Structure formats: C-alpha cells, structure tokens
Amino acid sequence: MNILGSIRAVAGPSARSCSRRLCDPGPSRWTVPAALASSSRAPFYASRSSLASHRTFCSSTVTDYSPTAVARLPRWVNNAKPGSTPDQQSTNATEAKKDVRLDSAEDGQSAPPASAPPSAPPSSSSSGDGSDNADPPPPPPPDNPPPSQTSISKQSVPEVYPQVLALPIARRPLFPGFYKAVVIRNPEVVAAVKEMMRRGQPYLGAFLLKDENVDSDIITDVNSVHPVGVFAQITSVFTAASNKEDEKEEGLTAVLYPHRRIRITELVKGGQTAKVETVESTPAESTVAESEGQLPTPPPEREGPPMTLQTSFLEKYAVSVVNVDNLATQPYNKDDQHIRAFMSEIVSVFKDIAQLNPLFRDQIANFSINQVASNVFDEPDKLADFAAAVSTGDPNELQDVLESLIVKDRLSKALLVLKKELINAQLQSKLARDVDSKIAKRQREYYLMEQLKNIKKELGMESDGKDKLIEKFKERAAALKMPEAVRKVFDEELNKLMHLEPAASEANVTRNYLEWLTQIPWGRHSPENYSISHAQKVLDEDHYGLKDVKDRILEFLAVGKLRGTVEGKIICLVGPPGVGKTSIGKSIARALNRQFFRFSVGGLTDVAEIKGHRRTYVGALPGKIIQALRRVGTENPLVLIDEVDKIGRGHNGDPASALLEMLDPEQNTAFLDHYMDVPVDLSRVLFVCTANMLDTIPAPLLDRMEVLEVSGYVSEEKAQIASKYLGPQAKEAAGLKEADVQLEPSAIDILIKYYCRESGVRNLKKHIDKIYRKAALKIVQDLGEEVFPEPTPTPAPEATAADTNKSEEESVKAASTVEKQDAPPNAPDAPETATPHKSAEEKDDKERVVTTVERKPMKVPDTVHVRISPENLKDYVGPRVYHKDRLYVHPPPAGVSTGLGYLGNGSGAVMPIEALSMPGKGNLQLTGKLGEVIRESAQIALSWVKSHAYELGITKTPDEVFLTDRDIHVHMPEGSIGKEGPSAGTALLSAFVSLFTKTKISPDIAMTGEISLVGMVLPVGGLKEKILAAHRAGIKTIIAPADNRPDIEENVPESVKTGIRFVYVENVHEVLHEVFRGEPVAERWKDTLPLEQS
C-alpha cells in the first residue's frame, strides 16, 4: 500500500504539502480503465460499488517524499495472463500506470475482512509511477515505524501471483478466509518477511508439512510439504517473545489471512543464498545512478529455475521460493440435491456441536460476523472450508478437504471431519455430565446430612461430632482415678479442644493426646491371686523340673501374699536358648492372674521406643510401656522384656539407659514419657526380663534386677518333657490326635542322646514335630486318596431337600472367584518373558475359586497303627548327629587327657586334649579353634611343669635346662567348634605331665578346673552340663575343684551322679596323684610332690 505515490503524482517530485480530500476509503484503491475492466473482474468491481454507501472519510499526510528506484519497478497486474510474453506484460503495466491513482500508504497490501484482528504497525514501501529526476532516497525506516492513518476497508489482492515465498506450516493446514498466526524463528525468513512488508508485497504461500514432528521455516525438498496450500496475506507482524534471555535469534509472529488455494509447480529456491561479490562504490555514485533512473544491479546468478524480477530481492535471503498456480473450485449447481443434503447435514451437525461445545458456538458466531459480504451457510464451498477450519481433526483429513476442488467431495470430507468432532464433543459432554452428577450427588448428600444434623440437634436427639467427642472424653475420665496433676492436664487439653475448629491441625494432635490420656488405666487393676498351691499347680502344668526357679517364684509369691503387693521386684531369667524362659514368664502371669504383655528389645537402638516421641513430631507415639498399659487395660500387668542382653545403641540414644528409669523401683513411681508428659506410676507393674548371658547387660541395669539362672535340662528331664508336653503337642499339630501313632520312650532316649544334646528342648521339639509329620505323610501315602478323598461342595446324601437348598445358598455366598496369579514356569526353555503354551481349557479357566468355608479335619482309620522305635527312628530324622561320646575308648597314648567343656548352645561335652613334642626351639603351638583364655591356661600349665620338672622326674638335676630343643604342640579335636574358658587348666597340665613322663592316663577319668601359676585349682561354672556329658560318655571318675562341691551336691540330680566318683581337689598335686594313681611315677611324687595334710 502506497499513499505516497498518489500524492507524488499530484504534487510533483519535491512537493511539501498536505493533501486532504474525500475518496473511497481503503489502503489501496485502483481506478481501473475500461481496458482492464474485463468480464472476469466485473463481479469484483460490482461488489465494490455496492459498498460505496459505506465509505467513510479518510485523510493522509505526506512530507518530504522522494521515490526510490525500486518504486519504478512494475508489479503484477491483476489481469495479467500467464501466457503473455514479458514484453506484453511490460506494455500492459506501462499503460496501467497512466490510470493508477493510489489513496493509501501501501499499494496492493492485505485485504482482510472488516473484523480482522489488530495488526502491527505497517512498514512503509514505495510502488507506483514517479518522475525520472527523483530526489535521493531517504534512509530506511525503522522496524516498527509509527502507524499511518489508514481507513479499515477491503483491499484489492492480486489474482495472479505466480511466484511466492513458501512458508511451511506444521500440524494443520490453513483454509481460505480464516486467520492463522504463525511464529517464524528463522532469521533469514524473518528478514525476508520484513522486506516484503516494506516493499508492499506481503504475500506468501503456506503449505502443510507432511511430517508432524518437523517444524521448519524453509522448504529444502518439495516433497516434504503437501503440494496444495493457500495464498495468504500477512496482515500484521509482532516480535515473538523469546523464552531464553541469551537467545540472539529474533522471532516474528505473523498473522496470515488466506485468500485462495494454490499448487506448487516448481521449487525455485530451496533456502540457499547466492554468492555475491562486493563491489565498492561511493555514496555519491549511488545517488547519481539512482537520480538518473538507472535500474538496480541485477541479482547474482543462481543454479536452478530463474526468479522473476519482482521477487529477485529474495535472492539474498536463505528462504524458499516456489512457482505456483491458482486452483479454482470446479463449477457446481447450488440447487443440486446432494449438495443441499450435505449442506443441511453440516448445518445440523454444527447446531449439535454448538449445543455441546460453547467454544465451538463462539467460533461460528465470530465467523458469521466476519463474512459480512455473504452468508457462509448459503455457499457450499465456503461452508466446507469453514467446517474443516473450526474442527480439530486429523491433519491429513483436513488436507484432503483443502485439496478437494469438487464441491460435492469437499462437502463429503468436511462432513466426515465434522462428524468426528461431534462424536468427540458428545464424549466430552458425557464425561462432564458424569462428573457433574457425581459432584451433585455428593453435594446433595452433604446438604441433606447437614440438614439432618441440624434437625437432630434442634430435637435434642444428637449433638455434632465435636460435642460428642468431648462428651466421650468426659465419660472416660469420669470412670478413671486420675491423679490430680493428670486431671489438671486433662482439663486444660479438653478446654483447648473445645475452642479449636475440627479442621485445624492442632485439634487432631490434641484429640490424639486425649485419646491416649483417657485410655491409660489410671487406678484400674486386676485382682491378684497369691495362692501358693495354685501357683505350684500352674508351674507344674507348664514346666517339668526347674526346681530352683519354681521355688524362687513361690518365695516371691509368699512375700507378696504377706505384704499384699509385689512392688519393687524385677526378675531376670538367664539361661541358654530353649530352656523355657519366656514360657516361665507366661506361667507367672497365669499364676498371679495378671494381664500379660511381651515386647523384645533385641537390636533396639532408638530411645523413643522406651520413652516415646515428643508430640511436636508427625506421627508421634508413646513408648512401649505406655502402649502396654493401653493394650492390657490394667495398671498391674506382667511385662516381659525379652532379649535384654541384646539391646543395641545407636545415634538415637541409648535404650539401655532409658530402661533404668523404667525398671528402677525408686524412679518408676513417676515414669515420665516424652509423649504423655505426665508422671505414670509403674510400681505395680511386674517386670520379668530374659537373657542368654549376663556379660553384655550394662552393670547399672543388671544391678536393678534379681537374676534367676535357668540351667539346661538333663536327659531324664528332657525325656519327661518330651513325653508329657512336646509329644502330645506335636501329635495334635500333625492331625494325629486320635490316631494310634506312638513314639516309644527308647526312641526318645536315642533322640536325646545322639540328636539333641542342647541344654534346651527347642531342638528336641523340632525333631519330634518332624517325626509326626513324617508319620502323617506315610499314612496318607499308604492309604491313598480313596481313604482321604478331597472334599466336594455337594451336600451329604442324607440331607433333606431344605438342608440341600440351604447348603447351596451358603456355598454360593461363601464362594467367589478371583483372577488367577500363577507362578511363571521354571523350565529352562521357557524364559519369564516368553508366553507359555496353554491348552483351550487353561485359556478358558482364567479365574480361581475362593471361599470362606473352613475345611474340616479328616479322621485316621482305627486300623492304622504306627510305632516309632530306635530301629526305624533313622527313617524319620535321618542319620545320627553325634556318633560317639568320647574319642578314646581304650587307653590313649601318653600326652592325652580328658577334659569337660561347656559349649555355646548350653550343653556340656567331653573334650580330649592331645599334646605332642618334636625337635625345635622350645615353642608352644596351639590348635583346635582355641580362645584367648584357654591359650593362657596352656601357657600357665606348661610354665608350672617347667618349674617343677625335677620334682616330676622329668629332669635329673634341678638346674638342668628343659625344652630348649623341643617344640610342644597342643590340639583339641573337633576343630570347627570354638573352645574358650579357663576350665581346661587341670586337663592341660595332666597332658603335659603325661607327655614328658611318658605315662598314659585312663580314659575313664575326666577333669575340669582352672589352675593358677602356683598350682591352685580354682572353681568353674557349668558343672551340671559337664557332669551330664560325662555321665552320657560313661566316665567313671570326675576331678573337680573343691569349691564346686556344694554346687554339685545340690544342683546336679542324683540320677546323673549315679555311677560317677567325684574327687574334689584344691591344688595340682592332688590332681596328679589322682590321675596317675598306681603308676610308678606316682610313687616318687610321694616324696617330691607330697600331698598337704588337711
């Protein structure tokens, strides 16, 4: 659009004037001569003349205008024909110049409808006729010059524009008559568009990319876009905002208004630039050349099809330029029955979509306002374009609509796209209705519930949830005997809750605190039973043996019976695994008629488990003891703290130290939990702890407990436990309670002697369970499925019809199906990712039946009799674990003695000690997985022998050097078993004396005892288990420390001591005289190693 050309034609080349006159408004108005007013243009000018009544006043002001050389170049004339020669086109253009009168600032620019969106400030350009002696050109205007005053009216658009800049469009095509905003990022294309706007040639071709994932501004291959596109006018441009601050490329948003369909005939330029050699010229020469009217330098040569003179300025930009042909819609009859049917259906679908989608309805209204010249619903071709333009269909389907030149086909394809849009709108409407109905239902329920609450509240039938909660807390507190300090805290927290909103976070914390505070059994306790006879009966029912433990418990109860309370007593049961420490705690609770609660502290590292968390933490809870009180509901339960010797210590504190306050009778009367933050009286709680050893229990904690040692069971006790307790329990667990399956006592003895030598009975229980399980398997396998059939859901034959119907109904109610979840096959040729082959039945059976009906046990026939004897015991439990009790049955060689040891599993063992000498340097080598203490015992024994070598008869003179050229090797068999402790001192010394004096020791003699460096024999522990192992091995004589005599006489059963002679010694002289009794070397010792007279 160029209003400057018309002003120049009137005022002269150098006029300084202002022109204001009445004219037909519009950016570009042509006064067309009769020669150009052909028949094909008549309708266009007729339509323009019909709008003359709507013209308004417009004015333009020009100051200091001078034409440029480019302004004298002709543009394509509307009536130019593609077949005319360039000379003819030039002649026609020259004739047209004489009759051209421009009234606007830009000639031939865009022609959008009256309702076009606001455009960016237009760029000025020059085009038209002018004088040869023009002034020098002014400097180029800025990118965004101030907007010129133009009227808003429809402009003329070139009907023939054979060569245009090609702009690829992504995702959906453009349709004639519908605006489209595109973002251009390529700087070359941006510069070219600006130049086109400046020159007054804002026209380009928009073509849809075939690949939806590609977004480019240039076309390098003509096959990358669809050949049919639109001839569009750039109505306005805006600077595109960049997401990155440091992005140097300037983007451009261009608003396009398509006018007609076009087809690409040839790709003239595919985005490359021509190489131009720079020729230096002075500004004066350039000014003179332009003033003389010389044409600009022709564009450089480029490979490929030539570019026209009008688009030659695009040579210097890396943009795409194509040759195009206009595509015209084929003639049609508007009154055709099929066309009218299509149009009616499209209008009907439009109405349906408009009712479902308000946004679609707004688009139709806007488009109807834009089409002021005609009614789109009366023109089939525009109706089809409109249907495709407003829909969100597939890009390929929309492109088919654009490429259709036959109106009937275009309407058919547009109707298909529109029908899919209707289906999508219906689905969206259905989803919206479903959501709305759910929300409306919830809102209605909420509204009715609120009304119901208010009605009940008015009638006094029910109060709201907050009042009900407060009333509940008050009722709980009234039933408890809270201390005064606790009652005060309760009233404060309850008052706080009354003034808090239920939705507040603090209200939830306060409510939880009040829940815990009112569920602690303040003042509530169970009546205790201190009956000695009742306690004796309960302890005997649950345990066999353990006389010391039972007597101590009865003493404890007797004191409680006289005092009326057992406060201040913390019992710690210590013993090997499997001796029944936990079950003893349960028996005490049953005997006292107290509630029982057990928790283990093994591996506990967080002090909050004992003392609780502070209420400020999310998910805070009280400690275990407060949880125990809430669980049992009384303040005098029996709390069993298991594995107290395995308590840990971590970064969250020391739980063992936290137990001090809880177990100390002087402190637990006011135990302060972090969560409760009120004193809780734990003095009425009876604490029973269990441990396997005392070494790892902290001394302050051990000092607060009364230790009861629970030693292991002897063979007779194990046999009684197996026959009275373990056997019946295992038999019932295996489903053989009524069956005739007997485990003979002799088999139990073999089981205890060669399979289960541990102090406890846990391993014995496992083996007895295994025996009865094997027996059950043999019975089922021998009798088969005929005797033990799988149950069927059909009712019994003798049931009546009513019972049958009832059973069927119950089965239907109890049975249901779930989806099958089978394990993947384990075959090597069927990997987990492969689909296993399934038969037709397996494919149909995709569900598994589930039921809630309990399966009834089956009765073993009375004809079945099973006996487990020593002969067939191996079939049930496998080969023996312990083959023989002692290594040497016959007299061993010199240097071998027999000791008694205590194993880690709580059992005793007969352990031979072997000593051997060899040439060397006097070193002592120890093997057999020996601990540090037993190594020291060997060093002490060897040192004593060296110092008494002359008295023992090993050396001939007291000053003779001994063992300077000999090494000593000591080994204890069964090297995989760790051995530790000082009790092997006497056995090691006897082995050394036997080795050096070359005197054998009888294998029927076993010894235990720690020795000192001067030859004293000190007491040791584990005598009961050691004597049991000696009894099992057939030992005839046991040499033990004299200080252990009371322990042996009182705690070791007489049945175990039967057949064993005990020799109690105080020093090693007595040990040697007893071990080597009757040997020649012992006769000499009467003089050199005399026995002390007591």
Q: Per the residue annotation, which of 28, 148, 907, 983 is the catalytic one?
A: 983
Tell the burial category of 571 from Cβ atoms under 10 Å away from its Cβ (0-12, 13-18, 19+).
buried
Backbone angles phi, psi at 322, to 5 degrees: -130, 155
Q: Token digits for 661?
A: 């306050």
* CA–CA dist 770, 110 (Å, integer): 98
* CA–CA dist 681, 486 (Å, integer): 11
Q: Per the residue annotation, which of 382, 611, 718, 1026 is the catalytic one?
A: 1026
* CA–CA dist 90, 1010 (Å, integer): 131
| Beta carbons within 8 Å of 447's beta carbon, 6+ residues apart | none
* CA–CA dist 815, 809 (Å, integer): 10
Half-sphere exposure of 354 (CA within 13 A, CB side): 13
Of the candidates 646, 682, 652, the residue with the CA atom closest to the CA atom of residue 667: 682
* CA–CA dist 1073, 1075 (Å, integer): 6
Of the candidates 628, 624, 623, the residue with the CA atom closest to the CA atom of residue 613: 623
Whether residue 732 contacts residue 775, with contact meaning beta carbons closer than 8 Å, is answered with no
Is the CA virtual torsion 172, 173, 176, 181 positive or negative? positive
Per-residue b or e along 56-91, where b marks 16 or more CB atoms closer than 10 Å to that residue's CB: eebebebeebbbbbbbbbbbbbbbbeeeeeeeebee
Q: Token digits for 150?
A: 């133009």
Tell the burial category of 570 from Cβ atoms under 10 Å away from its Cβ (0-12, 13-18, 19+).
buried
* CA–CA dist 555, 741 (Å, integer): 41
| Beta carbons within 8 Å of 252's beta carbon, 6+ residues apart | 183, 184, 190, 193, 194, 237, 238, 239, 240
- Strands (E) across 789-895 are located at 815-819, 847-851, 865-868
Amino acid sitting at position 183: V
DSSP notation for 193-209 = HHHHHHHT--EEEEEEB
Whether residue 870 contacts residue 722, with contact meaning beta carbons closer than 8 Å, is answered with no
Is 1026 catalytic? The answer is: yes
Cα dihedral 859/865/868/870 (nearest 10) = 180
| Beta carbons within 8 Å of 276's beta carbon, 6+ residues apart | 300, 316
Angle between helices 380-390 and 395-403 (to 10 degrees): 160
Cα Rg of the chain, angstroms: 55
Whether residue 656 contacts residue 647, with contact meaning beta carbons closer than 8 Å, is answered with yes
Q: Token digits for 480?
A: 């408890």
Backbone angles phi, psi at 580, to 5 degrees: 95, 35
Of the candidates 212, 628, 127, the residue with the CA atom closest to the CA atom of residue 399: 212
Name the one residue in this structure whose structure tokens are 């149909």.
844
To which H or E segment does residue 79 belong? Answer: none
Helix, strand, coil percentages (3-state) for the chain, rounded to 5, are: 40, 15, 45
DSSP tag of 979? B
* CA–CA dist 227, 222 (Å, integer): 8
* CA–CA dist 1059, 1077 (Å, integer): 19
* CA–CA dist 216, 879 (Å, integer): 83
Is the CA virtual torsion 1048, 1052, 1054, 1058 positive or negative? negative
Which positions are catalytic?
983, 1026
